[in-house]
Amino acid sequence: MNKQQRTVFYLSDRTGITAETLGHSLLTQFDGIAWEVVSVPFLDDIEKARTVSIRINEAAEQDDCRPLVFSTLLNPEVLEVIKQSNCRIFDFFETFIRSIEEELHLPFARMAGRSHGLQHHLSYFKRIAAINYVLAHDDGISPKHYAEADIILIGISRTGKTPTCLYLGLQYGIAAANYPLTPDDMHRHALPQVLENVKSKLFGLTLSAAQLHSIRSERRPNSQYASLEQCEKEIQWQESLFRKCSVPYLDTTRISIEEISAIILTRCGLRRQLYG
């Protein structure tokens, strides 16, 4: 079945993160459409708006249907230019701000960039520090500083420890370290000594043998490391170790990095450093 081709524009005075995140979340609820995505951040003057308006009209003609436009534009003159285009516009501020103003009995500031700026400077710098910590404590580096970690992810090779740590640091300001369990650890059937004193911070990641086999095969095809038999053996061992040592763990086989991170935060009671 051929999918319908349509174009979606994400427009913003600043980074466009809010418009794109909210718009994408809404569009994932609709199947059967192949979206051509156009993101336009820093759309902050009339001339830029006119150029984007031309692109919108061209997309409408090419698709033979009007594009969707998700907007967090605050400049009313810029927004008016976009509204004259052949599109269906969804303005997040227009949708929500008026009712919030009525409830709070306050006018909104009409200032771009506040949600991703430095107004919440303490939270922002906590996140920067967390990212630096993640980078400095990846793959078992500097275990002597594990006491400073908010959480330490453990698991065998290629179970998603590093990307999850990076996401936790970047999005939530969580100081996350990760430690790889190796075939040498399998013979001991015990946690590595370096983790014994930080056991309360440990969280394990696991996945199906088939998925691990697929991931490892991309890195080292036709190797013993990537063989399905080796993957099954290592996963059985690590899950047995997690249960024996009472380490909470999560099967990430069908879960995104975003979901993994949210589950870890919830299960471990960690505070998100989002806005201060």
Residues 95 and 152 in one domain: no
Considering its fold, how many domains does the chain have in total? 2
Regarding whether 129 and 45 lie in a shared domain, the answer is no
Same domain, 181 and 83: no
Closest CA to 184 of 245, 140, 136: 140
pLDDT, tens digit, 9 for 90 and up, residues 138-150 = 999 999 999 999 9
CB distance 145 to 137 below 8 Å: yes
Residue, of 126 and 77, whose pLDDT is higher: 77
Q: pLDDT tens, 132-184?
A: 999 999 999 999 999 999 999 999 999 999 999 999 999 899 999 999 999 88
On whether residue 256 sits in a domain, the answer given is yes
Is position 74 within any domain? Answer: yes
C-beta of residue 137 within 8 angstroms of C-beta of residue 163: no
Q: What is the mean pLDDT of the chain?
A: 92
- pLDDT computed for residue 107 by the predictor: 78
Annotated binding site: 155-162
Query: Is residue 187 a contact partner of residue 140, using CB atoms and an 8 Å limit?
Result: no
Residue 112 forms part of a structural domain: no
Is 111 domain-assigned? no
Indicate whether 9 belongs to any domain. Answer: yes
Q: Same domain for 139 and 220?
A: yes
DSSP element (H, E) containing 88: strand 88-91
Q: What pTM, to 2 d.p., does this model score? A: 0.75
Answer yes or no: do 133 and 216 share one domain. yes
The pLDDT tens digits for 24-73 are 999 999 999 999 999 999 999 999 999 999 999 999 999 999 999 999 99
- Rounded Cα gap, residues 8 and 188, in angstroms: 55
Same domain membership, residue 51 and residue 10: yes
Other CB atoms within 10 Å distance of the CB of residue 61: 11
274 found inside a domain? no
Residues 74 and 136 in one domain: no
Last residue of a domain, one of 104, 128, 151: 104
- pLDDT (average), residues 190-204: 95
Known binding positions for ADP: 155-162
148 and 230 assigned to the same domain: yes
**206: which residues sit within 8 A by CB, 6+ positions away?**
155, 159, 235, 238, 239, 242, 249, 250, 251, 252
Average pLDDT over residues 90-108: 86
Domain boundary among 69, 104, 139: 104
CATH of the domain at 150: 3.40.50
| Confidence check: pLDDT of 108 > 90 | no
Rounded to whole angstroms, the maximal C-alpha distance in the chain is 69
Tell which of 104, 126, 156 closes a domain: 104
Query: What average pLDDT does range 81-98 have in this prediction?
Result: 93
Co-location of 185 and 237 in the same domain: yes
**For position 86, what pLDDT does the model report?**
98
Residue 259 shares a structural domain with residue 122 = yes
| Per-residue pLDDT band at 94 (split at 50, 70, 90) | confident
Q: What residue numbers bound the domain in which 37 lies?
A: 4-104
Residues 177/161, Cβ–Cβ less than 8 Å: no
Does 43 map to a domain? yes
Tell me if 201 is assigned to some domain. Answer: yes
Are 17 and 93 in the same domain? yes
Measured distance CA(147)–CA(201) in Å, rounded: 9
Pair (100, 121) in one structural domain: no
CA–CA gap between residue 178 and residue 115 (Å, rounded)? 30
Q: pLDDT (tens digit, 9 = 90+) per residue, 235-276?
A: 999 999 999 999 999 999 999 999 999 999 999 999 887 655
pLDDT at residue 57, as a whole number = 98
